[in-house]
Structure 1
Amino acid sequence: MKIRLLLSFFLLVICPATMAQTIVKGVVRNAQSQQTIPGAIVKVSTSQTTQTATDGSYSLTVPAQATYLIISHIGFVADTITIEHGQTIVYYTELQPRQNILKEVKVQGFETNRPLLQTAGAISIVDSDVIQRSDESSLVRAVNTVPGVRMDERAPASYRISVRGSTLRSPYGIRNVKLYFNGIPLTEANGTAALNLLDAASIESIEILKGPTASVYGAGTGGTVLLEPKRGQLGASIGAGITMGSYGFQKYAATASAGSAKNNVLVQYTHQQYDGYREQSAFDRKVLLISPEFYVSDKQTITSHIIYSDLYYELPGGITKEQYDANPRQARGGEFGSVKQQTAMNQEGINIGLKQDYRFTDNFSNSTAIYSLHRFRDHPFNTDYERNANQEYGGRSSFTYKTTIATLPATYTFGGEFQRGFEAARTYDNNSGSVGALRTDDEVTAKTGFVFSQAELELPSDFIFTAALSLNDTQYEIIRLAQAPTINYTKDFEAVLSPRVALLKRLTDQISAHASISSGFSPPTEEEILTSDGNLNEDLEAEKGTNYELGVRGYSLQNRLSFDVVGFYFRLKETIVSRQDASSVAVFRNVGSTSQKGLETALNYSIIDAPANAVSLFKVWGSYTFNHFRFKEYQQDEDDFSGNKLTGIAPHTATAGLDLATNVGLYFNATANYTEKIPLNDENTVYADRFVVIGAKAGYRKTIAGQLQLDVFAGVDNLTNETYSLGNDLNAFGGRFYQPAPDRNYFGGISLNYSFK
């Protein structure tokens, strides 16, 4: 009896401990070439980690509480596998190469969450690999690889984004382009977006929707940019990096990440400094990002972010062609010179966002987000000194319902968005960088919102039809306190319906064609109504436009070549343009209409894609944009500019690059950007010269013992030492059109990331 009791105790205690262990084995292959992938990271939900051998195989023992494992490798899309417990489990995994996932990547654009090949519309994706191709000092180089899109940097951190010509009304700042961060509006209720408060290293990917989206993102004629933040990964890790370069460039970064099956969090701090290529162009930015994510249940996910930013950058100002040719490093001089007036932007802000995705049933779901931001600006300019404080809140909610109509799958999306911002804005005399006499004291309340609906129907013969509609409304209320009697000004832009219809045809499993017609509505921003000289621009009206679009995208040559080609025709009415007055203050007005025709192409060809080979990756890629943009009707006093080229838009731009990687961890990439001559005034009498800028980066990236990831790199920008202006001042008074970019400059750095087992 004693022996039986001891044997029973042994079976009850020892055997479960043995059965709790599962041996997981597998082989990892390239989904395209079917070659095995050595060096892939295999990580279990309970933090056990290993790497695949030279033949792509792996084996590790996992405990009973392990639920899934993630298999990843540089250049491939990570795959998640649910663990089925037993004594020995074998998995055969195929990873999809990143450069060949056009039909697999699901995009957020138009909230369809469909693969790109099944989405009707001009959408470009900038992933983390593209962002990391340079020193990550800004997003300029990454965004400028996208056809139809141009990002300027008039001074370090003074950004401007043009999507199909929207620079026309943006002498500075980002306007007429709607930005979202983690699905939450980053563009404020006043129509501007402080993208410079973010660090490029905080961004995981970017989706750019070109032209009027006209439905789920509300009013707009320029486009929509969706920014996805970086998130924590499975397990725990810490990292640090440093990059240094020419003209005093320094960037320090520290990250900590922890993740499990239920939640993850990423904490990232970056500090970037730059002495500046030009006089009065120093830069200093500190950014703290806290990005948690909670998987509450199979139905509910909560994501959030907290961004604190402390930003200071100096403004060198525009210079004339003679000054540009003599010494491009000089700042604006004269009575209101930039050095004398100590022109700069000092900006501090915090942005807090919370989003919940909830699935009521398999066919009905909701995504709701709320946010709040607080920002303070201290801005000595050449002719005045501005101080303002802004606080804002807003929210967005969308519902998705999937059903069938006469056996045809259908998806309905509907929802709304609302933003309210309050700003206390004061302008003073600028006495050589010090606050002088008060000029204006304004309280500005901005309210904007819209409701939208969208229906998507899968028709026979592989057609997908989309119809969408949004109703948009914007209102400004300005109270001028420093004037007797007090002035109350209200501008309520009439609510406008913006429709969109689109049709997509899947020609094959690898090629699709799409066509769409959409209408856009873009009210003026606060800065266009209330200019920096304190004047109220009461007559300014909203732009309205209609966009016609036709495109094709897909693969050929055994999936080695991916392509995306779009042609469009955009008619814009009540076009807003800007000009500078004698004091360099930008003033705005409606001038009639424009005709904008264009062609955008993107190509990507993989010459070598074989992870087991010595040269594991070699691909070439490129993009080309043709713009035939003209003022159709433009009369200014006695001058008729009808038929002139649109100011600030190059008729031809092209980008080409190559990426090379080896099995031992060495990598190299190079990029060349070409920009044709750009008209700098509405009269078309002054042009910026065409230019070609080349950049390159080389490095060594390796994961050591499955835990320590090392990346050592060095690079060069403007390799051929081109003299060019990146971010010209349009219609500038006194011929001060040019904002020279740095000459040849270098950078290098190292980053380390350690994962805990």
Structure 2
Amino acid sequence: MRPPHLRPLAGGILLALASGVVAQDAQLAPVVVTATRTAQSPYDIPAAIDVVATPPDGSLDVNLSERVQAIPGIVARDRQNYAQDAQVSIRGFGARSTFGIRGVRLYTDGIPASMPDGQGQVSHFNLDSADRVEVLRGPFSALYGNASGGVVQIFTAGGTEPPELRFGIAGGSNGNVRSSVNARGVDGPVDYNVDFTHFRTSGYRDHSAARRESGNAKIGWKIDDDARLTLVVNTLDVPDAQDPLGLTRAQYKSDPRQVASVATTFDTRKSVDQQQAGLIYDQHIDDANSLRVMGYYGQRGVTQYLSIPVATQVSQPGNSGGVVDLDNEYGGGDVRWTWRDTLAGRPFELAAGVAYDNQEQHRQGYNNFVGGTLGVRGDKRRDEIDRVFDFDQYAQATWRVADDWSLMGGVRHSEVRFRSTDRYIATGNPDDSGTVKYSATTPVFGVLWRAAPWMHAYANWGRGFETPTFSELGYRADRGAGLAFDLKPSRSHNAELGLKLRPAEGTEAGLAVFRADSDDELAVATNLGGRTTYQNISRSRRQGVEASFSTGLARNLRFIASYTHLQATFRTPFLTCVTAGCPAPDTPVQAGTRIPGVPRSMGYAALKYGGERGWQAGLDMNAMGATSVNDLGTESAPGYALFGLSGGYVFDQGPWRVNTFARVDNLAGRHVIGSVIVNDGNARYYEPAPGRTFLVGVDMRWR
């Protein structure tokens, strides 16, 4: 495994480390729980994991992309389209998703935000109340089960002492406004963090206005010295968010703010309403044993108006219509026992548990027209009950076999069952009911060598798997009745080598080289009458290098940088469809073609000045390499580098802390493509990013 650019990149890292020995500012060492399920320093974990604490004051802080820019390996694109969720992929896993998030496991306070079939969303992530975001990459992600190409987990902050009230408002270009109110504190055995955030935008592009209300509450009760109960509740309301759809290359060049005419013709839009609650019980049994029990339940309703032409719906009896109506109920639980003691006289920790998740979805489809009126709900075209559940068992252990060596390993057995009951059967639309089951056992193993107090080296290996989602199973490529029983889960073999460096106080760096070989990767097979079907591709590969660096250059002055180079390719040839209405795969894709949606490289760098009070300033650069948009590799979104500038002043006096801030993004006012829609059947692959934008705001805290 020899990804390109490794030698010059490693040299650059070492030069940067040499310059970092002048660091003067020490930071509190973060802890993470996503890799080991217990609080540990990421420096002592044989895996690539990063934690982002609450960001500096002075950002809109509405999208996950604002939090994870400095983390290598993860792509989180703000699509400027709140009718579609953010695009999130890790080391190329999840890049094929055209809506929602697949291939990456998502959690809020340990509660799944990914459904059992592997599809999830981050729209209900409440960043205003968050303490930190953790991102796990590489083989150890497989310990979270189906579709674990990586793990993103957000944690709500606990209550503070003394109590605080927080208020914030920020606004800027394109009608962006964010306002929030937050209360957090401690009252005897109870601590709390309650937040409400309102966001609205007129949108950079035409027909892209949206409004989003997000509420989040975390309430903890210390029952006694050994037991704690935590309630996490969140809500989300997104009414009629306009969907501008993508643009062709010619449309983008002509006017990046425009929309395809069908977006306004059919008034494409989406509404989401979600409520979720989770209860977590932690019990310290004795000095060696502890127990954690988690249960959750949620409801999510989605109504979406698509731009499927009337003629297509009328001429295709099996078409599902242009209006999607989904009612979801979901829930589950996780029970985990942890034992901490010694084995052969050395520290040893073992965690073992079982997890169950269930989703029941009532999926209905309707025509998006009534007579000559478009963009309204018409006759019913689809009615089915879809259920998917998983039942997993897992165990993982960490053993410090010597002062300088630690071993970490684990295994997870997953079983995922799908069942669809078709309640709409008509001429030309046969019974599509059916069931299918997938299972896999995914082992992982890692070793960490503490070569020196300032250098830790690690290696790990593991297997992973990803089932098709219900959306991909829904239709067969041969146009027969029932689910796509012929689809197989994708299975991967993953390996990683890495270095974690702390050469001086306040200076950190990381370097990781990785490879993931997958069998039975999913790709588009056909696109006909509004139905997309899928097929398995024999082999694919993702390999690359990640680097990160952070140092204090002087008092209150810090430099942060990260870089990722990624080669993601199909390793075997296959046939695919490239146009809407393609009834069977007919166009060859050559071995070695890039997997779409995956940028060749990406980088981030920032220079930040400021302390707890006084003047604040920052200059940052965000760069993205060229990104292929279709399986053929015939089109791609060009790469770019964008610069941002921020500044402000923090007043901290008495009970009040007031932060005033301003920010300018895309200083040069460049027109770039911010995100892509992979394999769009109409060649509308491109979602433009805004030009130069401005933001001003104030955040206040009262203690």
Q: Is the contact made by 2:63 and 2:78 (CA closer than 8 Å) also made in structure 1? A: no
1:281 aligns with 2:219: no
Distance 1:443 1:34, change over 3 A: closer
For residues 329 and 460 of structure 1, the distance between their equivalents in structure 2, rounded to whole angstroms, comes to 60
Residue 156 (str. 1) matches residue 77 (str. 2): no
- In structure 2, do the counterparts of structure 1 residues 354 and 286 end up closer, same or farther at CA, with 3 Å as the change threshold? same
Separation in 1 of the partners of 2:425 and 2:129?
44
Q: Which residue identity does 1:144 align to in structure 2?
A: Q
Q: How far apart are residue 531 of structure 1 and its match?
A: 6.2
- Residue 188 (str. 1) matches residue 188 (str. 2): no
Structure 1 residue 536, shift from structure 2 partner: 4.1
Alpha-carbon distance in 1 for matches of 2:352, 2:165 = 41
- Code of the aligned partner of 1:152: R
Q: 1:151-209: per-residue Cα shift (whole Å, max 9, x none)?
A: 12334332110101123431121111111111111112242223112333232211111
Aligned twin of 1:26: none
Asked if 1:304 corresponds to 2:196, the answer is: no
Q: 1:550 aligns with which of 455, 474, 497?
A: 497
Give the deviation of 1:538 after TM superposition: 3.3
1:624 to 533, 538, 563: 563
**1:249-268 alignment to 2 at 5 Å?**
249-260=176-187, 262-268=189-195
Q: Is the 8 A contact 1:215 1:468 kept in 2?
A: no
Corresponding position: 1:110 with 2:36: yes
Residues 666-675 or 136-145, more deviating: 136-145
Show the 5 A alignment for 1:32-431: 97-98=27-28, 101=29, 105-129=31-55, 132=57, 134-157=59-82, 158-213=85-140, 216-260=143-187, 262-312=189-239, 313-333=241-261, 337-383=262-308, 384-431=322-369
Residue 696 (structure 1) shift? 2.4
What is the correspondence of 1:672-691 to structure 2 with a 5 Å cutoff?
672-691=621-640
State the distance in 2 between where 1:464 and 1:176 align: 29
Match of 2:574 among 635, 638, 654: 635
Is the alpha carbon distance of 1:390 and 1:603 closer, same or farther for their aligned partners in structure 2, counting shifts above 3 Å?
A: same
Q: CA deviation at 1:452?
A: 0.4
Tell me which amino acid in the other structure corresponds to 1:651. Answer: R
Per-residue Cα deviation, 1:399-435 (whole angstroms, up to 9, x for no partner): 1112222212211110011011111110111122211
Cα distance change on mapping 1:522 and 1:664 into 2, 3 Å: closer
**Corresponding position of 2:646:** 697
Give the aligned residue type for 2:335: S
Give percent identity, aligned residues only.
23
Contact 1:212-1:220 within 8 A present in 2 as well: no
CA distance in 1, matches of 2:34, 2:213: 29
Match of 1:497 among 441, 446, 469: 441
Mark the structure with the bigger radius of gyration. Answer: 1
User: Aligned pairs, how many?
Assistant: 647
| Aligned match of 1:28 | none
Residue pair 2:660, 2:698 contacting (<8 A) in 1 also: yes
Task: Specify the SS of the correspondent of 1:325.
Answer: helix
TM-score (norm 2): 0.88
**1:444 correspondence with 2:444:** no
Distance 2:619 2:335 in 1: 42
Counterpart of 2:580 in structure 1 is none
Contact 1:235–1:260 (CA under 8 A) maintained in structure 2: no
Whether contact under 8 Å (1:345, 1:380) holds in the other structure is yes
Contact kept? 1:214, 1:499, Cα under 8 Å: no
TM alignment of 1:439-518, pairs within 5 A: 439-483=381-425, 486-493=431-438, 495-518=439-462
Secondary structure at the counterpart of residue 574 of structure 2:
strand
Cα separation, partners in 2 of 1:652 and 1:392, compared to 1, 3 Å: same
Report 1 or 2 for greater relative contact order, CA contacts < 8 Å, sequence distance ≥ 6: 2
Unaligned runs of 5+ in 2: 1-20, 309-321, 576-585
1:651 aligns with 2:597: no
Asked whether the 8 Å contact 1:208–1:224 carries over to 2, the reply is yes
Quote how far apart the aligned CAs of 1:734 are.
Answer: 3.2
Structure 2 CA distance, aligned partners of 1:429 and 1:188? 27
Q: Are the counterparts in 2 of residues 159 and 173 from structure 1 also a CA contact under 8 Å?
A: yes
Q: 1:745 to 1:220 in 2, by over 3 A?
A: same
Greater shift, 163-172 or 411-420, is seen at: 163-172
2: distance between equivalents of 1:483 and 1:555?
64
Distance 2:420 2:592 in 1: 37
Q: Is the 8 A contact 2:78 2:675 kept in 1?
A: yes
State the secondary structure of the residue aligned to 1:120. Answer: coil
Q: CA deviation at 1:745?
A: 1.0
CA 1:183–1:700: 2 relative to 1, 3 Å: same
The answer to whether 1:661 aligns with 2:661 is no
CA distance in 2, matches of 1:219, 1:711: 43
Structure 2 Cα separation of the partners of residues 324 and 150 of structure 1? 22
Shift of 1:542: 0.7
Rounded Cα–Cα distance in structure 2 between residues aligned with 1:584 and 1:669: 47
3-state DSSP of counterpart to 1:339: helix
Report how far residue 216 of structure 1 moved.
Answer: 3.5
Q: Tell me how far 1:510 sits from its aligned partner.
A: 2.6
Residues in 2 aligned to 1:670 and 1:199: alpha-carbon distance in whole angstroms: 26
Q: 1 CA distance for matches of 2:39 and 2:123?
A: 28
**Equivalents in 1 of 2:661, 2:482: separation in Å?**
50
Report if aligned partners of 2:199, 2:213 keep a CA contact under 8 Å in 1.
Answer: yes
Structure 2 equivalent of residue 18 of structure 1: none
Q: Which residue of 2 aligns with 1:711?
A: 659
Distance 1:207 1:331, change over 3 A: same
Tell me how far 1:148 sits from its aligned partner: 0.8
CA shift for structure 1 position 215: 5.1
Give 1:471 shift: 0.4
What is the RMSD of the two structures over their aligned residues, measured on CA atoms? 2.2
Aligned-pair CA distance for 1:149: 0.6
Query: What amino acid is aligned across from residue 306 of structure 1 in structure 2?
Result: V
Unaligned runs of 5+ in 1: 1-31, 36-74, 76-95, 610-616
Aligned mates of 1:283, 1:309 — CA distance in 2: 13
**Are the structure 2 counterparts of residues 430 and 677 from structure 1 closer, same or farther at C-alpha, using a change threshold of 3 Å?**
same
Distance 2:52 2:58 in 1: 11
Q: What residue number does 1:528 align with?
A: 472
Say whether residues 1:591 and 2:537 are aligned partners: yes
The partner residue of 1:570 within 504, 510, 516 is 516
Whether contact under 8 Å (2:23, 2:553) holds in the other structure is no
Distance 2:115 2:292 in 1: 20
Q: Secondary structure, in 3 states, of the residue corresponding to 1:322?
A: helix
Contact 2:646–2:663 (8 Å) recurs in 1: yes
Deviation per CA, 1:707-738, whole angstroms, max 9, x where unpaired? Answer: 11111111112221121122201122232111
> 1:693/1:392 Cα in 2 relative to 1: closer, same or farther (>3 Å)?
same
Match of 2:546 in 1: 600
Structure 2 vs 1, CA of residues 738 and 109 (structure 1 numbering), >3 Å: closer, same or farther? same
8 A contact 2:80–2:204 mirrored in 1: no
Structure 1 distance, partners of 2:611, 2:665, is 23
**Mean CA deviation greater in 639-648 or 277-286:** 639-648
Cα separation, 1, equivalents of 2:472 and 2:139: 20
